[in-house]
């Protein structure tokens, strides 16, 4: 049975302006949400503090837990349900990152047992110092930036045979990052500055394939971050791993389409570019959809049955796969057409 007919001919390029509006709205929602929430909601990995996972043997109210822990001098910041409702598990976050000894753990059990009337089990305690959290946050952002940097080198050399130019660009970007670090610029500002330098270099060095790929990757990561901000989900180390995985997945889709575009440019060099782009996207559509569907089946399984610890990771991956598939068709490829029109102008 054929899932996608070989002669399918959907005019994706003609709908690119609708896609641009949709993408602009989603990115605008991301920016507004981040402004309202004063940036991403960092988990204990990046913000520092103490995380305590508690399990009760009967239904328990969050208010009772907060009231019971109010007298402890560990700075309780939040209490929330964890896992299924029937698990009766909660995550307690404390601003203090001081070590919680066994005696303190026993005291917490006694206080909560008295406050809730239920048997209490402390399942795990995680502590991260504020400086460690800051270092992890900076390293995670730099890892994402350098992942994009090496991707641009590969794309430029692979599709445009501009290894020298891509090397010059990489050196300029590293130098820009170094200069910004000398001025003690915050990592988010440093990232924004480095990405701006990247896009300017793409413009002047005419690295159109790399620009299409990186714009699509930035698009995917921003929308994923925006949905996390909108739904109030935390950014932890597993989520950074998910974002890096999304970058790789989305790039894989984009490279497949770009490779077919390059082949069709040789076969149909007398045809208009919009015809070649549409033909290339349609020819790779079956592979793209089947790959995305099989990946999503696994991710939805993890999302539903994987438990609370892996829940947010699976959510990030689901969003990334959906947005990455969309951007390979409606963001990366149309940039090549916009570039041609820019050169003609």
Q: What is the pLDDT of residues 269-293, one digit of tens each?
A: 778 888 888 888 988 888 888 889 9
Number of domains in the chain: 2
DSSP one-letter string for 282-344: HHHHHHHHHHHHHHHHHHHHHHHHS-HHHHHHHHHHHHHHHHHHHHIIIIIHHHHHHHHHHHH
- Quote helix, strand, coil % in the chain, to nearest 5: 70, 10, 20
Tokens of 126: 């995680």
Can you give the CATH number for the domain in which 311 is found?
A: 1.20.1640.10
Q: Based on the domain organization, do 121 and 162 belong to the same domain? A: no
Q: Report yes or no on 229 lying in a domain.
A: yes
Q: Based on the domain organization, do 26 and 54 belong to the same domain? A: no
Q: Which of 98, 99, 97 is nearest to 134 (CA)?
A: 97
Q: Which residue has the higher pLDDT, 101 or 260?
A: 260
Provide the 8-state DSSP code for 15. G
Q: Based on the domain organization, do 316 and 297 belong to the same domain? A: yes
Where is the domain boundary, 97, 128, 159? 128
Residue 1's pLDDT band, with cuts at 50, 70 and 90, is very low
Task: Tell me how far CA of residue 193 lies from CA of 123, 153, 189, 323, 325, in angstroms.
Answer: 43, 19, 6, 24, 27
Where is the domain boundary, 128, 149, 176? 128
Q: Report yes or no on 6 lying in a domain.
A: no
Where is the domain boundary, 86, 111, 128? 128
Indicate the range of 107-121, 126-140, 143-157 predicted with least confidence.
Answer: 126-140
DSSP one-letter string for 96-149: ------HHHHHHHHHHHHHHHSS-EEEEEEEEE-HHHHHHHHHHHHHHHHHHHH
Q: Report yes or no on 190 lying in a domain.
A: yes
Segment 122-132 shows an average pLDDT of 71
Residue 96's pLDDT band, with cuts at 50, 70 and 90, is low
Q: Report yes or no on 207 lying in a domain.
A: yes
Q: Which residue has the higher pLDDT, 270 or 324?
A: 324
pLDDT at 295: 92
Q: Based on the domain organization, do 218 and 143 belong to the same domain? A: yes
Q: Based on the domain organization, do 324 and 240 belong to the same domain? A: yes
Can you give the CATH number for the domain in which 96 is found?
A: 3.30.70.100
Domain extent, residue 172, equals 13-43+132-344
Indicate the range of 75-79, 156-160, 250-254 predicted with least confidence.
Answer: 75-79
């Amino acid at each position: 049975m054929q899932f996608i007919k070989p002669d399918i001919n959907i005019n994706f390029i003609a709908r690119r302006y609708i896609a641009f509006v949709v993408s602009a709205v989603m990115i605008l929602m991301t920016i507004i949400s981040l402004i309202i929430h004063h940036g991403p909601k960092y988990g204990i990995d990046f913000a520092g503090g103490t995380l305590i996972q508690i399990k009760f043997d009967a239904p328990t109210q969050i208010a009772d837990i907060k009231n019971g822990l109010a007298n402890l001098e560990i700075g309780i910041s939040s209490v929330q349900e964890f896992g299924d409702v029937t698990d009766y598990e909660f995550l307690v976050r404390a601003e203090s990152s001081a070590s919680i000894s066994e005696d303190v753990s026993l005291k917490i059990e006694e206080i909560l047992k008295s406050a809730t009337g239920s048997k209490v089990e402390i399942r795990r305690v995680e502590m991260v110092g504020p400086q460690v959290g800051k270092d992890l946050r900076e390293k995670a952002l730099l890892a994402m930036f350098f992942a994009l940097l090496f991707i641009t080198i590969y794309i430029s050399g692979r599709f445009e045979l501009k290894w020298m130019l891509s090397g010059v660009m990489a050196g300029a970007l590293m130098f820009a990052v170094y200069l910004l670090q000398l001025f003690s610029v915050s990592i988010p500002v440093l990232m924004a500055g480095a990405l701006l330098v990247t896009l300017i270099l793409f413009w002047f060095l005419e690295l159109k394939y790399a620009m299409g790929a990186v714009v699509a990757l930035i698009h995917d990561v921003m929308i994923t971050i925006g949905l996390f901000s909108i739904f109030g989900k935390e950014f932890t180390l597993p989520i950074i791993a998910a974002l890096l995985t999304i970058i790789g997945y989305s790039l894989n889709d984009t490279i497949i389409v770009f490779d077919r575009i390059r082949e069709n440019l040789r076969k149909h060099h007398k045809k208009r570019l919009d015809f070649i782009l549409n033909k290339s996207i349609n020819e790779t559509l079956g592979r793209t959809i089947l790959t995305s569907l099989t990946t999503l089946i696994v991710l939805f399984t993890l999302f539903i049955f994987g438990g609370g610890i892996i829940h947010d990771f699976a959510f990030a991956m689901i969003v990334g796969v959906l947005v990455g598939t969309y951007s390979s068709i409606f963001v990366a490829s149309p940039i090549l057409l916009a570039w041609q029109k820019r050169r003609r102008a």
